[in-house]
Amino acid sequence: MATSDNMNIGINVTGNANQELLKIEKNVAKVTAAFSGLKQAIAGLALGSFLSSAIKFADTMQDLSNATGIATNSIIGLGKAFQQNGGDTEAARQAIIKLTMSIGDAADGGKVAQVAFQKVGVTLQDLQTLSEEDILGKTIQGLAKISDVSIRTKTAVELLGKGAKGIDFTGVAAGYVQASAEAKKYNDAIKSAADLNDKLEDAVGKIKLSLLQALQPAVDFFSTIVEEGNNAKMIADGLAIAMAAIAAASIIKSISVLIDTFKGLAVLLGLTT
Protein backbone atom coordinates (compact mmCIF):
# COMPACT_ATOMS: atom_id res chain seq x y z
CA MET A 1 0.00 0.00 0.00
CA ALA A 2 2.80 2.38 0.89
CA THR A 3 4.50 1.48 -2.36
CA SER A 4 1.37 2.36 -4.36
CA ASP A 5 1.02 5.70 -2.57
CA ASN A 6 4.66 6.49 -3.24
CA MET A 7 4.19 5.69 -6.91
CA ASN A 8 1.12 7.97 -7.11
CA ILE A 9 3.01 10.77 -5.43
CA GLY A 10 5.92 10.25 -7.80
CA ILE A 11 3.63 10.34 -10.85
CA ASN A 12 1.87 13.48 -9.60
CA VAL A 13 5.14 15.21 -8.87
CA THR A 14 6.56 14.23 -12.24
CA GLY A 15 3.41 15.36 -14.03
CA ASN A 16 3.37 18.72 -12.26
CA ALA A 17 7.05 19.19 -12.95
CA ASN A 18 6.57 18.47 -16.66
CA GLN A 19 3.70 20.94 -16.83
CA GLU A 20 5.81 23.63 -15.17
CA LEU A 21 8.69 22.92 -17.52
CA LEU A 22 6.35 23.24 -20.51
CA LYS A 23 5.12 26.58 -19.16
CA ILE A 24 8.69 27.78 -18.70
CA GLU A 25 9.60 26.67 -22.22
CA LYS A 26 6.59 28.51 -23.66
CA ASN A 27 7.45 31.67 -21.71
CA VAL A 28 11.07 31.47 -22.81
CA ALA A 29 9.92 31.03 -26.41
CA LYS A 30 7.65 34.08 -26.12
CA VAL A 31 10.45 36.19 -24.62
CA THR A 32 12.89 35.02 -27.28
CA ALA A 33 10.40 35.85 -30.03
CA ALA A 34 9.74 39.25 -28.49
CA PHE A 35 13.45 40.07 -28.29
CA SER A 36 13.94 38.80 -31.83
CA GLY A 37 11.25 41.16 -33.06
CA LEU A 38 12.75 44.00 -31.05
CA LYS A 39 16.19 43.30 -32.50
CA GLN A 40 14.76 43.34 -36.01
CA ALA A 41 12.93 46.60 -35.33
CA ILE A 42 16.06 48.21 -33.89
CA ALA A 43 18.11 46.93 -36.83
CA GLY A 44 15.54 48.37 -39.24
CA LEU A 45 15.61 51.75 -37.52
CA ALA A 46 19.42 51.74 -37.47
CA LEU A 47 19.54 50.89 -41.18
CA GLY A 48 17.04 53.62 -42.01
CA SER A 49 19.01 56.15 -39.96
CA PHE A 50 22.30 55.09 -41.55
CA LEU A 51 20.91 55.30 -45.08
CA SER A 52 19.33 58.68 -44.37
CA SER A 53 22.70 59.88 -43.07
CA ALA A 54 24.40 58.62 -46.24
CA ILE A 55 21.91 60.53 -48.40
CA LYS A 56 22.51 63.74 -46.45
CA PHE A 57 26.28 63.22 -46.73
CA ALA A 58 25.95 62.90 -50.51
CA ASP A 59 23.79 66.02 -50.66
CA THR A 60 26.34 68.00 -48.62
CA MET A 61 29.19 66.86 -50.90
CA GLN A 62 27.27 67.75 -54.05
CA ASP A 63 26.25 71.16 -52.70
CA LEU A 64 29.88 71.95 -51.85
CA SER A 65 30.96 70.81 -55.30
CA ASN A 66 28.34 72.99 -56.98
CA ALA A 67 29.33 76.00 -54.87
CA THR A 68 33.10 75.72 -55.39
CA GLY A 69 33.51 74.13 -58.82
CA ILE A 70 35.58 71.30 -57.32
CA ALA A 71 34.52 67.74 -58.17
CA THR A 72 33.07 65.59 -55.40
CA ASN A 73 35.82 62.98 -55.75
CA SER A 74 38.43 65.70 -55.14
CA ILE A 75 36.53 66.87 -52.06
CA ILE A 76 36.42 63.30 -50.74
CA GLY A 77 40.07 62.76 -51.69
CA LEU A 78 41.19 65.87 -49.81
CA GLY A 79 39.14 64.82 -46.79
CA LYS A 80 40.81 61.41 -46.74
CA ALA A 81 44.27 62.94 -47.21
CA PHE A 82 43.61 65.38 -44.35
CA GLN A 83 42.42 62.55 -42.09
CA GLN A 84 45.64 60.65 -42.68
CA ASN A 85 47.86 63.66 -42.05
CA GLY A 86 46.71 65.39 -38.89
CA GLY A 87 43.31 66.81 -39.86
CA ASP A 88 39.74 65.72 -40.51
CA THR A 89 37.06 65.95 -43.19
CA GLU A 90 35.55 69.12 -41.71
CA ALA A 91 38.94 70.86 -41.91
CA ALA A 92 39.18 69.76 -45.54
CA ARG A 93 35.70 71.10 -46.28
CA GLN A 94 36.55 74.46 -44.70
CA ALA A 95 39.87 74.52 -46.59
CA ILE A 96 38.05 74.16 -49.91
CA ILE A 97 35.64 76.96 -49.04
CA LYS A 98 38.52 79.21 -47.92
CA LEU A 99 40.52 78.42 -51.07
CA THR A 100 37.72 79.62 -53.35
CA MET A 101 37.52 82.81 -51.27
CA SER A 102 41.30 83.25 -51.57
CA ILE A 103 41.08 82.80 -55.35
CA GLY A 104 38.46 85.53 -55.52
CA ASP A 105 40.46 87.78 -53.22
CA ALA A 106 43.63 87.38 -55.32
CA ALA A 107 41.70 87.94 -58.56
CA ASP A 108 40.36 91.19 -57.10
CA GLY A 109 43.88 92.39 -56.37
CA GLY A 110 44.34 91.25 -52.78
CA LYS A 111 48.10 91.40 -52.21
CA VAL A 112 48.21 88.94 -49.28
CA ALA A 113 46.42 86.27 -51.29
CA GLN A 114 48.47 86.96 -54.42
CA VAL A 115 51.77 86.64 -52.54
CA ALA A 116 50.58 83.46 -50.82
CA PHE A 117 49.65 81.91 -54.17
CA GLN A 118 53.03 82.89 -55.59
CA LYS A 119 54.71 80.98 -52.75
CA VAL A 120 52.96 77.77 -53.83
CA GLY A 121 53.64 78.35 -57.53
CA VAL A 122 50.20 79.62 -58.57
CA THR A 123 50.63 82.66 -60.82
CA LEU A 124 48.17 85.43 -61.64
CA GLN A 125 47.82 83.83 -65.05
CA ASP A 126 46.92 80.53 -63.36
CA LEU A 127 44.26 82.30 -61.31
CA GLN A 128 42.69 83.63 -64.50
CA THR A 129 42.86 80.47 -66.59
CA LEU A 130 42.88 77.39 -64.36
CA SER A 131 39.84 75.82 -62.75
CA GLU A 132 39.36 75.87 -58.98
CA GLU A 133 40.13 72.17 -58.91
CA ASP A 134 43.43 72.63 -60.77
CA ILE A 135 44.38 75.49 -58.46
CA LEU A 136 43.63 73.27 -55.47
CA GLY A 137 45.97 70.61 -56.83
CA LYS A 138 48.77 73.10 -57.50
CA THR A 139 48.30 74.68 -54.06
CA ILE A 140 48.65 71.34 -52.27
CA GLN A 141 51.73 70.36 -54.28
CA GLY A 142 53.22 73.82 -53.78
CA LEU A 143 52.73 73.71 -50.00
CA ALA A 144 54.49 70.33 -49.88
CA LYS A 145 57.52 71.86 -51.62
CA ILE A 146 57.98 74.66 -49.07
CA SER A 147 60.81 73.38 -46.87
CA ASP A 148 60.50 75.96 -44.10
CA VAL A 149 57.75 74.65 -41.81
CA SER A 150 56.81 78.06 -40.40
CA ILE A 151 56.46 79.60 -43.88
CA ARG A 152 54.51 76.55 -45.07
CA THR A 153 52.08 76.79 -42.14
CA LYS A 154 51.63 80.55 -42.57
CA THR A 155 50.97 80.17 -46.29
CA ALA A 156 48.59 77.26 -45.75
CA VAL A 157 46.55 79.24 -43.23
CA GLU A 158 46.43 82.27 -45.56
CA LEU A 159 45.12 80.19 -48.45
CA LEU A 160 43.18 77.39 -46.74
CA GLY A 161 42.19 78.81 -43.37
CA LYS A 162 43.03 78.04 -39.75
CA GLY A 163 42.04 74.39 -40.12
CA ALA A 164 45.17 73.90 -42.24
CA LYS A 165 47.39 74.54 -39.24
CA GLY A 166 49.07 71.34 -38.09
CA ILE A 167 48.42 69.46 -41.36
CA ASP A 168 51.34 67.58 -42.89
CA PHE A 169 51.05 68.78 -46.48
CA THR A 170 53.88 66.56 -47.62
CA GLY A 171 51.69 63.61 -46.73
CA VAL A 172 48.58 65.29 -48.13
CA ALA A 173 50.31 65.89 -51.47
CA ALA A 174 51.42 62.25 -51.58
CA GLY A 175 47.94 60.86 -50.91
CA TYR A 176 45.55 63.41 -52.41
CA VAL A 177 45.84 62.44 -56.09
CA GLN A 178 45.35 58.72 -55.48
CA ALA A 179 42.52 59.25 -52.98
CA SER A 180 40.72 61.55 -55.44
CA ALA A 181 41.15 59.05 -58.28
CA GLU A 182 39.77 56.22 -56.13
CA ALA A 183 36.74 58.30 -55.14
CA LYS A 184 35.90 59.17 -58.76
CA LYS A 185 33.75 56.03 -59.07
CA TYR A 186 31.34 57.51 -56.50
CA ASN A 187 30.64 60.77 -58.37
CA ASP A 188 27.55 59.54 -60.23
CA ALA A 189 26.08 57.84 -57.15
CA ILE A 190 26.60 60.98 -55.07
CA LYS A 191 24.94 63.16 -57.70
CA SER A 192 21.98 60.77 -58.00
CA ALA A 193 21.55 60.63 -54.22
CA ALA A 194 21.79 64.42 -53.94
CA ASP A 195 19.21 64.89 -56.73
CA LEU A 196 16.88 62.42 -55.00
CA ASN A 197 17.31 64.24 -51.70
CA ASP A 198 16.43 67.58 -53.31
CA LYS A 199 13.33 66.14 -55.01
CA LEU A 200 12.10 64.44 -51.86
CA GLU A 201 12.72 67.53 -49.73
CA ASP A 202 10.75 69.55 -52.28
CA ALA A 203 7.93 66.99 -52.07
CA VAL A 204 7.94 67.08 -48.26
CA GLY A 205 7.92 70.87 -48.36
CA LYS A 206 4.83 70.84 -50.58
CA ILE A 207 3.12 68.36 -48.23
CA LYS A 208 3.85 70.62 -45.26
CA LEU A 209 2.44 73.62 -47.10
CA SER A 210 -0.66 71.60 -47.92
CA LEU A 211 -0.96 70.67 -44.26
CA LEU A 212 -0.76 74.33 -43.25
CA GLN A 213 -3.50 75.07 -45.74
CA ALA A 214 -5.60 72.26 -44.26
CA LEU A 215 -5.03 73.67 -40.76
CA GLN A 216 -6.22 77.13 -41.72
CA PRO A 217 -9.86 76.48 -40.63
CA ALA A 218 -8.65 75.46 -37.17
CA VAL A 219 -6.42 78.52 -36.91
CA ASP A 220 -9.24 80.81 -38.04
CA PHE A 221 -11.68 79.11 -35.66
CA PHE A 222 -9.52 79.59 -32.59
CA SER A 223 -8.83 83.18 -33.63
CA THR A 224 -12.60 83.70 -33.57
CA ILE A 225 -12.80 82.18 -30.08
CA VAL A 226 -10.15 84.58 -28.83
CA GLU A 227 -11.93 87.54 -30.40
CA GLU A 228 -15.52 86.69 -29.41
CA GLY A 229 -15.00 84.96 -26.07
CA ASN A 230 -15.48 81.37 -24.95
CA ASN A 231 -18.46 79.39 -26.17
CA ALA A 232 -19.01 75.74 -25.23
CA LYS A 233 -20.20 74.57 -28.65
CA MET A 234 -17.52 76.51 -30.45
CA ILE A 235 -14.87 75.02 -28.19
CA ALA A 236 -16.20 71.49 -28.79
CA ASP A 237 -16.18 72.03 -32.55
CA GLY A 238 -12.73 73.53 -32.29
CA LEU A 239 -11.40 70.56 -30.37
CA ALA A 240 -12.74 68.23 -33.06
CA ILE A 241 -10.93 70.23 -35.72
CA ALA A 242 -7.76 70.33 -33.62
CA MET A 243 -7.82 66.56 -33.12
CA ALA A 244 -8.18 66.03 -36.86
CA ALA A 245 -5.28 68.43 -37.45
CA ILE A 246 -3.10 66.60 -34.92
CA ALA A 247 -3.88 63.30 -36.62
CA ALA A 248 -2.96 64.81 -39.98
CA ALA A 249 0.30 66.17 -38.55
CA SER A 250 1.13 62.74 -37.16
CA ILE A 251 0.58 61.19 -40.57
CA ILE A 252 2.83 63.80 -42.21
CA LYS A 253 5.56 63.10 -39.66
CA SER A 254 5.31 59.38 -40.34
CA ILE A 255 5.54 60.04 -44.07
CA SER A 256 8.68 62.13 -43.50
CA VAL A 257 10.30 59.29 -41.55
CA LEU A 258 9.40 56.81 -44.27
CA ILE A 259 10.77 59.12 -46.92
CA ASP A 260 14.12 59.34 -45.10
CA THR A 261 14.27 55.55 -45.10
CA PHE A 262 13.23 55.19 -48.73
CA LYS A 263 15.85 57.73 -49.72
CA GLY A 264 18.55 55.36 -48.59
CA LEU A 265 16.82 52.26 -49.94
CA ALA A 266 16.42 53.86 -53.35
CA VAL A 267 20.16 54.48 -53.64
CA LEU A 268 21.02 51.09 -52.15
CA LEU A 269 18.80 49.32 -54.70
CA GLY A 270 19.97 51.50 -57.58
CA LEU A 271 16.52 52.93 -58.21
CA THR A 272 17.71 56.51 -58.64
CA THR A 273 19.65 55.99 -61.84
Tens digit of each residue's pLDDT (9 = 90 or more) over 177-229 = 999 998 888 878 777 766 766 676 776 677 767 766 776 776 666 666 655 55
Give the least confident one: 51-55, 116-120, 126-130, 179-183: 51-55
Q: Tell me how far apart the alpha carbons of residues 170 and 163 are, in angstroms, rounded to a whole number.
A: 16
Contacts with 37 (C-beta within 8 Å, 6 or more apart), sequence order: none
Task: Give yes or no for residue 255 having a pLDDT over 80.
Answer: no
pLDDT of residue 9: 46
Mean pLDDT of 121-140: 95
Q: Which residue pairs from 209-217 have beta carbons closer than 8 angstroms and sit at least 24 positions apart in sequence?
A: 211/248, 211/249, 211/252, 214/245, 214/248, 215/245, 215/248, 217/241
User: What confidence category does residue 68 fall into, taking pLDDT thresholds of 50, 70 and 90?
Assistant: very high
93: Cβ–Cβ under 8 A, 6 or more apart, which residues?
Answer: 64, 75, 79
User: How crowded is residue 223: how many other Cβ atoms within 10 Å of its Cβ?
Assistant: 10
Angle at 164 between CA 60 and CA 76, to 5 degrees: 35
Residues 6+ apart with CB under 8 A from 107: 127, 128
Whether 165 and 156 have beta carbons less than 8 Å apart is answered as yes
Give the residue with greater pLDDT, 161 vs 16.
161
pLDDT given at position 54 = 73
Phi, then psi, of 88 in degrees rounded to 5: -150, 175
Whole-model pTM?
Answer: 0.59
State how far the Cα of 58 lies from the Cα of 254, in Å rounded to an integer: 23
Of 49-63, 121-135, 255-269, least confident by mean pLDDT is: 255-269
pLDDT surpassing 90 at residue 270: no
